[in-house]
Amino acid sequence: MTTYTDKGEKPEGGKFLHFHSLTFWVGNAKQAASFYCNKMGFEELAYKGLETGSREVVSHVIKQDKIIFVLSSALNPENEEMGKHLVKHGDGVKDIAFEVEDCDFIVQKAKERGAVIVKEPWVEEDKSGRVKFAIIQTYGDTTHTLIENLNYKGLFLPGFEPPLFKDPLLPKLPSGKLSFIDHVVGNQPDLHMVPVAEWYHKNLLFHRFWSVDDKQLHTEFSALRSIVVANYEETIKMPINEPAMGKKKSQIQVTNLKQRGMEFMTVPSTYYQQLREKLKSAKIKVKENIDKLEELKILVDFDEKGYLLQIFTKPVQDRPTVFLEVIQRHNHQGFGAGNFKSLFQAIEDDQDARGNLTILTADGETNLI
């Protein structure tokens, strides 16, 4: 793997602050929101739908600490854009929103560099204040919404109201203990990774933060290349992955979540035997009990400075195109390169059980969070 220290020239204006929210286009927003609340520990935050005057789209907003998901569905059969997206991709991430400073400047510069502006900057307001938005096209059908807070004090964004219903069961469940979005992955078809990474560099002035190639990440059947791009302040990280050819086609606080019924990938038992041997000569010490990590099937990656813990959910919907990663960092800013082989083996085992050991993400639309 390669870690990059050159951030490039600091942008002359505008600033990307952090991930604002992820918008999923789904077939049934109410039920999708309930899944994430029940299984992952989210809580209802805000709502927009027929009761609030929204006649075309219903959106349930859920939150856990700094993580915000927006689950949106069409209310009318004439909504061809959302309908076609669902047929093509199934439920999935449509938009990755960034909170920014000086939205106008960022959009103008992106436009000058050739970016497709889906919607020019506009302002929405309600009794809680004003917010400026703009939408930029990125890979595939995915978009980035830029959000500039103009002293807005409301629950979420203009047009949203408190949820109509709060599930009385949720406070009785174990906490999800999730804090913030560490990164969002965009999986690409073969040979599309570099052009997409270059798009972020050219249009948003993101720089290369980390990369790894298929010589380092592979099993008998799977291989992966990845370039992670980040904003200047490195508060937003976007890994861009692509498959590489193998013999077959390729793919790309846990106790409480398991108690809530969340399903996670398993890893081969030999992984922990090898881990114990590697740690004997490592310069770092893992604070957590390895037996407990093995029981929970949590992966460990480390270098001479620190380590990270990570575990991946099984696909969160029937079409296996979205799964989530739970990650905890201990002075380690990598992305688990040492664990990808184990992850691939687990994914391959899961696909083989379905009789479908083939490519998982081939259309450039799947996002790993």
Question: 303, 334 in Cβ contact below 8 A?
Answer: yes
Q: 51 pLDDT exceeds 70?
A: yes
Q: 345 pLDDT exceeds 70?
A: no
Question: 186, 241 in Cβ contact below 8 A?
Answer: yes
Fold type of domain 185-368? 2,3-Dihydroxybiphenyl 1,2-Dioxygenase; domain 1 (3.10.180)
d(CA 43, CA 272): 35
Q: Which residues contact 171 (CB under 8 A, 6 or more apart)?
A: none
Q: 359 pLDDT exceeds 50?
A: no
Residues 257-277 have a mean pLDDT of 89
Residue with tokens 């390669």: 2
Confidence of residue 225 (pLDDT cuts 50, 70, 90): confident
Q: 368 pLDDT exceeds 60?
A: no
Q: Out of 36-45, 70-79, 317-326, pick the least confident.
A: 317-326
The pLDDT of residue 321 is 84
As a 3-state breakdown, the chain gives helix, strand, coil percent values, each rounded to 5, of 25, 30, 45
Read off the amino acid at residue 276: R
Q: Where are the domains of the chain?
A: 11-172, 185-368
Share of the chain above pLDDT 90, in %: 73
Starting at the earlier edge strand, list the strands of the sheet with 325-330: 299-302, 307-312, 325-330
Phi and psi torsions of 275, nearest 5°: -60, -45
Q: What is the dihedral of CA 77, 30, 317, 194, to 10 degrees?
A: 70
User: How is residue 134 written in tokens?
Assistant: 């703009």
CA distances from 33 to 71, 166, 226, 277, 314 (A): 6, 12, 30, 42, 18
The pLDDT of residue 346 is 66
Residues 182-202 have a mean pLDDT of 94
What is the rounded average pLDDT for all residues in the chain?
Answer: 89
The pLDDT of residue 5 is 84
Cβ neighbours, 10 Å, residue 83: 15
User: How is residue 141 written in tokens?
Assistant: 């059908």
d(CA 187, CA 282): 32
The pLDDT of residue 362 is 36
Q: Which of 294, 199, 183 has its CA nearest to residue 239?
A: 183
For 122-181, the DSSP string reads: EEEEETTEEEEEEEEE-STT-EEEEEEEES--SSSSTT-B--S---TTGGGSPP------
Q: Which residues contact 356 (CB under 8 A, 6 or more apart)?
A: none
Q: Which of 247, 143, 244, 138 has its CA nearest to residue 191?
A: 244
By three-state DSSP, how is residue 108 classified? helix
Q: Out of 28-32, 94-98, 238-242, 339-343, pick the least confident.
A: 339-343
Confidence of residue 366 (pLDDT cuts 50, 70, 90): very low
The pLDDT of residue 192 is 93
Residues 224-237 have a mean pLDDT of 94
Q: 55 pLDDT exceeds 70?
A: yes
Residues 338-353 have a mean pLDDT of 70
The pLDDT of residue 249 is 47
Confidence of residue 9 (pLDDT cuts 50, 70, 90): confident
Residues 221-227 have a mean pLDDT of 76
User: How is residue 250 written in tokens?
Assistant: 């390729």
The pLDDT of residue 64 is 97
In CATH, the architecture of 11-172 is Roll (3.10)
Helices (DSSP H) in 190-260: which residue ranges? 193-204, 254-259
Fill in the DSSP letter of residue 368: E
d(CA 154, CA 124): 12
Residue with tokens 């990125």: 138
Q: 252 pLDDT exceeds 60?
A: no
The pLDDT of residue 215 is 63
Entry pTM:
0.89
The pLDDT of residue 35 is 97
Q: Out of 154-163, 265-274, 305-314, pick the least confident.
A: 265-274
Question: 265, 276 in Cβ contact below 8 A?
Answer: no
Q: Which of 177, 325, 196, 189 has its CA nearest to residue 255?
A: 177
The pLDDT of residue 365 is 43
User: How is residue 206 written in tokens?
Assistant: 């993101």
Q: 326 pLDDT exceeds 60?
A: yes
Q: Same topology for domains 11-172 and 185-368, yes or no?
A: yes
Tens-place pLDDT, residues 75-132:
999 999 999 999 999 999 999 999 999 999 999 999 999 999 999 999 999 999 999 9
